[in-house]
Amino acid sequence: MRLRTRLALAFAALAVLPLLLSAPLVARRLGSAFEGELEQRADSARALVLAELEAVRARVGEAVTAVAGDPRTEELARSLDAKGPPPPPDAAQSLAEGRGLTVLALVDRDARVRSSAHLPARAGDVDPGMALALAVQPGVAVAAEVEVRSPEGPRVWPALLAAREVEESPGVFAVGGVLLDDSLAAHLARLAGAEVEVRRGAEVLALAGSAPGRAAARELSVGTGTALVVRVGGAAYAEAERTLRGALAAGVGSALILAVAVGVLLARRITGPLEALTRAAGAVAGGELDAQVTARAGGEVGVLVNAFNRMTSELARATRALVEAERVAAWEEVARGLAHELKNPLTPLQMSLETLAAAESTGSPRFAALFRESAPAMREEVERLKRTVEAFARFARLPRPAPVPVELGPWAEQTLRLYGVSDGLRLETAFAPGVHVLADRDQLAQVLHNLLRNAEEAMQGRPAWAAVRVFARGERAVLEVEDAGPGIPDEERGRIFELSQSRKPGGSGMGLAIARRIAVEHRGTLEVERGSRGGALFRLELPRSDGSREGTEGAAG
């Protein structure tokens, strides 16, 4: 992971971690606050329902008292005992209307129904629920169970009932009340803003209102095994809690994004000069010795950048001086070699000329014979001088390398195909992939050409075998050429790359010198040692490159 990424993440983590640690605590406190509020609301709703039930009891008592005193009730009660046509069994219905009573019946003292608004079909029968209402103080509502209509037949239902004797009709009682049904549950639910359920044991008789979400419930016992369950929904709280949690999460998220952005900026500011230094160091390694870091930086990093820039400037200057010195040294060597090479043929030439001059000055009769003897030798020495001068001229004309990215393996394979190996030479190759260098392809080819030619010349009269290998060794790319020749004696290895050190008849003595010079100008080395078969093993080592530009530049070159 890059330093910049690590730094950015570190900054973000430092900024967000406290928020992440505190968010659950805040959320928990929030939840418990809402929970408490919900419980309080449930208590309030229960109190409201309880108060309204008491009010309903009071209203039932008043309504039944009013019915008992209504002249129409008295008329109905009288008609029940009259000899004429009896009133219809649901005649009590008109008495219940407008009084808020869902249960009303006229009964006699033993609770036999005479006329019923809520279950006319029970007329003539004893209703135990009515008997319970008759047993308590007149006009006081009690919880009882009465039979009511249902599609499947009479159904026992809880109700609040009160009874009072009909005025002027002794023995006839008006028993009325309110069923604990959906209608009353809906009324209570609206009043309390809650869900109200009428239960008898496990059976839910009526249900109204709603309590969405997590709910808090309170139970109110009404009597005769009936209870009201008041349920307050926590959906609003849950919604508020969700909103706050969402806001908290959004805050944490925003902080995270902000922290990452700030972290990235800070990391870039810190690592920018370092990355520039890294790139410059890479450039230096790639040969751009005067690479400079232009990024602005302060503090220790700024000092480092300045030091680096000074170092590369100095390195470039020193390198230029070294190259100049090497060039001078090379020329010195060339001059020395040239002098050496010229001196050898000049001496016999001088001696032959002096001999001829002496013979001619003395008028020696052997002059003509001497001349005939000396002329071929002198012509040969002159030819030799001419070849020597041409060879040095070629060496001097060697251009500066124009490096391009080259992958050594494919390049060597292609070069060997163009080289045209001699018949009878068994050539072994081993090219590792991905070994890239920055090199002048032509000069590199000349090196390989010179080394192979040297190998072929060295194996004259021997079984011809040579090996060319390409591989990487650390940051260096290696090209090896091994032959099965007699090898290079240890004492000659130091001078084999010098000019005019050809050990072969007819050789110019310049091939290995040119190869080494090309190696040096590519900031590489060319060494020789004994090969595995006793022959010579030449090893060219060059700095490796990443090869990223090879495709385009190789194609262009």
Partner 1 sequence: MSRRLLLLALGASLGVAGASAGAARARLGGTLAIGLSGLPVPAPGALADAPEAASARALVALPLCRLEAGAVPVLAAARRRTGSGAGEVVISPLAGARFPDGTALAAHDIARGWRALAAAGGGAYLGLLAPVASLEPLLEAAAARSEAELLLPLAYPWPDLEASLCHPALTPVRGSGAAAMGIGLYAQEAGGQLGRWPGVPSGLPFPAAVSFVPALPRAAARLLRTGELRAVLGEPGQSEPPGPLLFATYLAHRPGRVPEGALAVLAALDLGELVRTFVPGPATPMPGLLPPSLLEPPPRPAPGRPGPPVAGAGAFTLGFDAALPEHRAVAERLQVKLHDAGYRVRLQASDRPGLVRARTDGSLDAALVSVLLPPLPAPALAVVLALADPQLLSRELPALGAIEDPGARATRVRDRAVELQRTLPLVPLYARGLRARLGPSLVDARRDAFGLLVLDDAWLTD
Site residues for partner 1 per CB under 8 A: 84-86, 88-90, 119-125, 149, 151-154
Work out the angle at residue 200's Cα, subtended by the Cα atoms of residues 194 and 202, and round it to the nearest 5 degrees: 90
Cβ-based burial of 329 (10 A; exposed 0-12, middle 13-18, buried ≥19): exposed
Angle at CA of residue 275, ends 274 and 279, nearest 5°:
120
CB of 172 to partner 1, least distance (A): 16
CB closer to partner 1, 85 vs 201: 85
What is the smallest separation between the CB atom of 112 and partner 1, expressed in angstroms? 12
- CB of 61 or CB of 87, closer to partner 1: 87
Q: Judged by CB, which is closer to partner 1: 49, or 113? A: 113
- Closer CB to partner 1, residue 107 or residue 123? 123
Between 127 and 197, name the residue whose CB sits nearer to partner 1.
Answer: 127
Q: In angstroms, what is the minimal distance from the CB of 110 to partner 1?
A: 17
CB 158 within 8 A of CB 180: yes
Burial class from Cβ neighbours inside 10 Å (0-12, 13-18, 19+) for residue 174 reads buried
Cβ of residue 148: shortest distance to partner 1, in angstroms?
A: 11
User: Residue 123 or residue 448: which is nearer to partner 1 going by CB?
Assistant: 123
Q: How far is the CB of 184 from partner 1 (least distance, A)?
A: 23
- The residue among 77, 226, 61, 56 whose CA lies nearest residue 137 is 61
Residue 121 vs 334, nearer CB to partner 1:
121
State the virtual CA torsion across 363, 368, 373, 378 in degrees, nearest 10.
70
d(CA 5, CA 10): 8
Smallest gap from residue 85 Cβ to partner 1 (A) = 5
Instruction: Give least dist CB 242 to partner 1, A.
Output: 47
**Beta carbon of residue 235, minimum distance to partner 1 (angstroms, whole number):** 39
The DSSP element (H or E) to which 365 belongs, if any, is: none
Least Å from the CB of residue 114 to partner 1: 9
Q: Nearer to partner 1 by C-beta: 87 or 409?
A: 87
Inter-residue contact 455 to 426 (CB < 8 Å): no
Structure token digits, residue 51? 């108060």
Alpha carbon distance 386, 378 (integer Å): 12
- CB of 314 closer than 8 Å to CB of 479: no
Least CB distance to partner 1 at residue 153 (A): 4
Ranges of beta strands (E only) in 123-260 are: 142-148, 155-165, 172-179, 195-200, 203-208, 215-223, 226-233
Locus of tokens 């028993």: 175
* C-beta of 54 vs 125, nearer to partner 1: 125
Left if phi > 0, otherwise alpha if psi is -120 to 50, otherwise beta: which for 200?
beta
The residue behind tokens 């999460």 is 249
Give the nearest distance from C-beta 173 to partner 1 in angstroms: 18
**DSSP run (H or E) holding 528:** strand 525-530
Nearer to partner 1 by Cβ, of 116 and 226: the residue is: 116
* CA–CA dist 421, 440 (Å, integer): 22
* Region class of 168: left (phi > 0), else alpha (psi between -120 and 50), else beta: left
Compute and round to an integer the Cα radius of gyration of the chain.
60
CB of 154 to partner 1, least distance (A): 5
| 8 A C-beta contact, residue 237 and residue 40 | no
For partner 1, the closer of residues 48 and 121 by Cβ is 121
Name which of 528, 496, 493, 494 is nearest 511 in CA terms: 496
Residue 86 or residue 554: which is nearer to partner 1 going by CB? 86
Q: Which DSSP state fits 120?
A: G
